[in-house]
Structure 1
Amino acid sequence: MINVLIVEDDPMVAKFNRIYLEQISGFSLIGIASSIKEAWEIIEEQEVELILLDLYVNNENGLDLVSELRAKRIETDVIVVSSANDQSSIQTALRYGAVDYLMKPFDFDRFKEALLQYADQFNQLKAEALKQEQVDQLFLNRSKEPLGEQEELPKGITKPTYKKVFQEINQLSGWFSTAELSDASAISRVSLRKYLRYLEEQGMVESRVSYEGTGRPLNQFRLSQKGNEYFMSLLSE
């Protein structure tokens, strides 16, 4: 079992992370910390293999925890779970060795993918010696290559529809909801969710949660800089 510590100061988010984690075999939740201090108390008392880490914990920077872990040579891995989508946070997380970065809000499928990929890496590294193909899988995530550079697309994703979705997103400009994109493209919301999830994984779109007049959370998206650049390449095909 892989021992997991959740570091999250939002009780509701911590609850959902726990519920998600309990649905994936091979992992054991050993604690939930709502502050960096609480996190250290658990780390010092128990063996923690993986931390699900929010970057902003009670006005503290979660990356400081990662930095100190590395300085003390504590062999604990980190998956960042945060709403922070700025370049500095993401780049710093990568430099500190975060194995994945989940942007809030995320669905169970993306959470499960992150945990299973980590479990695969964790188990492979138990071997005394690895083959080049195994090392490639650890250091190169080829599933994240842009469309057109992959030999196969994920199930349910077709290139013509992918292009159409891209074109409609570009026409909308700025932040948009799944419903707005569905109205513009005449593609069902169910289908669009698959494409938007895939686009976000590729870094082509970015997301946020907006609380409008109703007070209810609304997921919104917009084309990223990488997406804008790739859209221009699609037009030239």
Structure 2
Amino acid sequence: MIDVIIVEDDPMVAAINSEYLSRLEGFNLRGHFGTAKPCLDYLDRQEQTLVLLDVFMPGLDGLELLQHIRNTYTRVDVIMITADRSSNDIKKALRLGVIDYLMKPFTFERFQVALLSYQERRRLLESHAELDQSILDKRIFIREKPSYPKGVDADTLQNIQNSLSSRTESCSMKDLEQDIGLSRVSIKKYLVYLEEIGKVSSHLDYPAIGRPLRKYRWL
């Protein structure tokens, strides 16, 4: 299990990061901090941690905190999640050894790639096995983008997944149509794909009056 802390001063963004993290197995969210000091207090007690770090924060900003982490803690890894698009800041973060750099707003798929790639890296490097270049290239340094069927757009897919996963009960295509603003024909294509990859299940609902209605549920 990988311990994670979120260092983000915007509660809404922190909640999104936390919700995304909860969808991934093998990660344990240990805390959310809005400024640098409580983050450092935590790292003093629990050094081996993955930090999801924003740049723009009151007091010590994210890059200054990253520099302090690199100078002080040898077992902390950092993924930047920030609206900072400055090439100089990105260059500084990379030179300070960040694992990945996610620009807001980002999709769940991009977040998933970053976290699962890190998880695989940790698992591989803690295995004590002798490695060769092909293993490093295949499992750490070369990443493949998620591939989708023709006509499936990543952002639209994320919107439909968000709508489905936020519901406590199964819903119809009409419900999704009202929520997403797409035609049922378009939504159907995404639902078929999500069923194929095992993220959604469907069943026929038989009302007292009228025709059966197919409903969908996030798994």
Structure 1 residue 155 corresponds to structure 2 residue 148: yes
Partner of 2:115: 115
1:33 corresponds to which letter in structure 2? F
Deviation at 1:87, TM superposition (A): 0.4
Hey, what's the Cα distance between the residues in 2 that align with 1:134 and 1:104?
31
Q: Percent identity?
A: 38
Deviation at 1:18, TM superposition (A): 0.8
Shift of 1:65: 1.6
Q: Which residue of 2 aligns with 1:132?
A: 133
2: distance between equivalents of 1:94 and 1:156?
Answer: 33
| Matched letter for residue 136 of structure 2 | V
Contact 1:7 1:52 in 2 (8 A): yes
Match of 1:51 in 2: 51
Q: 1:96 to 1:139 in 2, by over 3 A?
A: farther
Which one-letter code corresponds to 1:87 in the other structure? S
Query: 2-side partners of 1:29 and 1:143: how far apart?
Result: 26
Q: By how many angstroms is 1:59 displaced?
A: 4.6
What code does the residue aligned with 2:17 have?
Answer: N
Structure 1 pair 139–113 and aligned structure 2 pair: CA distance change class (3 A): closer
1:57 to partner: Cα distance = 1.4
Structure-2 change in CA distance of 1:192 and 1:141 (3 Å) = closer
Judging changes above 3 Å, is the alpha-carbon distance between structure 1 residues 3 and 69 closer, same or farther for their aligned structure 2 residues?
same
- Could you tell me how far apart the structure 2 residues matched to 1:191 and 1:5 are? 31
- 1:199-227: CA deviations, max 9, x gaps? xxxxxxxxxxxxxxxxxxxxxxxxxxxxx
Cα RMSD (Å) of the superposition? 2.4
Distance in 2, Cα, partners of 1:132 & 1:42: 36
User: Which residue of structure 1 lines up, in the alignment, with residue 68 of structure 2?
Assistant: 68
Deviation at 1:89, TM superposition (A): 1.3
TM-score (norm 1): 0.60
Q: Distance in 2 between matches of 1:193 and 1:4?
A: 26
- What are the ranges of 5 or more consecutive residues in structure 1 without an aligned counterpart? 145-152, 158-187, 195-237
Q: Which runs of 5+ in 2 are unaligned?
A: 157-219
Partners of 2:147 and 2:23 lie apart in 1 by 23
Query: Which piece of structure 1 moves more, 42-51 or 20-29?
Result: 42-51
Specify the code of the residue in structure 2 equivalent to 1:109: E
TM-score (norm 2): 0.64
Encode CA deviations 1:156-201: one digit per residue, 9 max, x unaligned.
Answer: 36xxxxxxxxxxxxxxxxxxxxxxxxxxxxxx8x64847xxxxxxx
Secondary structure of 2:25 counterpart: coil
Distance 1:109 1:87 in 2: 23
Question: Counterparts of 1:1-40 in structure 2 under 5 Å?
Answer: 1-40=1-40
In structure 2, the CA distance between the partners of 1:48 and 1:58, relative to structure 1 (3 Å rule), is farther
Cα distance in structure 2, aligned partners of 1:132 and 1:193: 34
Paired with 1:21 and 1:139, the residues of 2 have a C-alpha distance of: 20
On the 8 A contact 1:7/1:39 being kept in 2, the answer is yes
Q: Distance in 2 between matches of 1:55 and 1:48?
A: 21
The letter for the 1-side match of 2:21 is: L
Runs of 4+ in 1 over 6 A off after TM superposition: none
